[in-house]
Structure 1
Amino acid sequence: MTGRVGYLAGAAAEDSVARDYERRGYGVVARRWRGSGGEIDIVLRDRDDFVFVEVKKSRSFARAAERLSAAQLGRICRTATEFLAGIPGGMGAGMRFDLAMVDGAGRMQTVENITL
């Protein structure tokens, strides 16, 4: 997907993921938060901790997972640190990184606390 269709499909996937987390009791703090080094799709709050979610939409979960590189995860980590530095007490908060994948049929699969 490219252009406007890809943008809209990505936004719809992010909406679905955000609603899923909200149903599970997380609070959405920011969507598409942009720092100096990159963007975080969804920032969530879980009590005193923050969850930074990268959303990948593709035909299959396997293809979606393949689209997250170590370099991209590094940018997300640096951007998350920048986000936390901008809020009171943020640097002392716990954090984790999740990968939320949405396939071509709209099904969702989440991998919590990802590392590469």
Structure 2
Amino acid sequence: MGFLPSRTPASATTKQVGDAAEDQALQYLQKQGLRLVQRNYRTPGRGGGEIDLIMRMQDGTTVFVEVRKRASGSHGGAAASVGGVKQRRIVFAARHYLSSLRTPPPCRFDVVLVEPEGLQWLQAAFDAG
């Protein structure tokens, strides 16, 4: 688990805020030794899922990362915003991604929280169950 201060301009659009949070998370994870495989992976068609970052650990584990940015900790903060529906969409997208590989690697689902207090990396935050 890591912790870094979070900074985003007050006049930024929602997309800019999200992109900045993903940039922050990506930089942090790369410093931890993970390598970027793909960013903003989307399944085709409507109603599918999206994965913010697909990373690979040095041991070959594929890590599907959801990045959540919240302006405050009220309503449970960023961690509470990754509920069951969001998890199912991420798992759906991950299965779609893995289906294109000859041999699926070990994988897990992480969440990186970007809040005013800083950045927090939750490893194995949920499973495909």
Query: For the superposition of Structure 1 and Structure 2, which TM-score range results when normalised by the shorter chain?
Result: 0.7 to 0.9
Cα distance in 2 between the residues matched to 1:11 and 1:87: 27
Per the alignment, residue 52 of structure 2 pairs with 41
Pick the aligned partner of 1:70 from 84, 98, 108: 84
SS of the aligned residue for 1:87 comes to coil
The structure 1 segments of at least 4 consecutive aligned residues displaced by more than 4 Å after TM superposition are none
The alignment-based identity, stated in percent, is 30
Structure 2 unaligned blocks of 5 or more: 1-11
Which structure has the higher relative contact order (CA within 8 Å, separation 6+)? 2
- The answer to which structure has the higher helix fraction is 1
Per the alignment, residue 26 of structure 1 pairs with 34
TM-score relative to the length of structure 2: 0.78
TM-score relative to the length of structure 1: 0.87
Residues 31-90 of structure 1: CA distance to partner in whole angstroms, max 9, x if unpaired?
111113111000001132100000000024541111111111011011101111112322
Per the alignment, residue 20 of structure 2 pairs with 12
Structure 1 unaligned blocks of 5 or more: none
Cα distance in 2 between the residues matched to 1:17 and 1:60: 18
Per the alignment, residue 8 of structure 2 pairs with none
Aligned partner of 1:39: which letter?
E
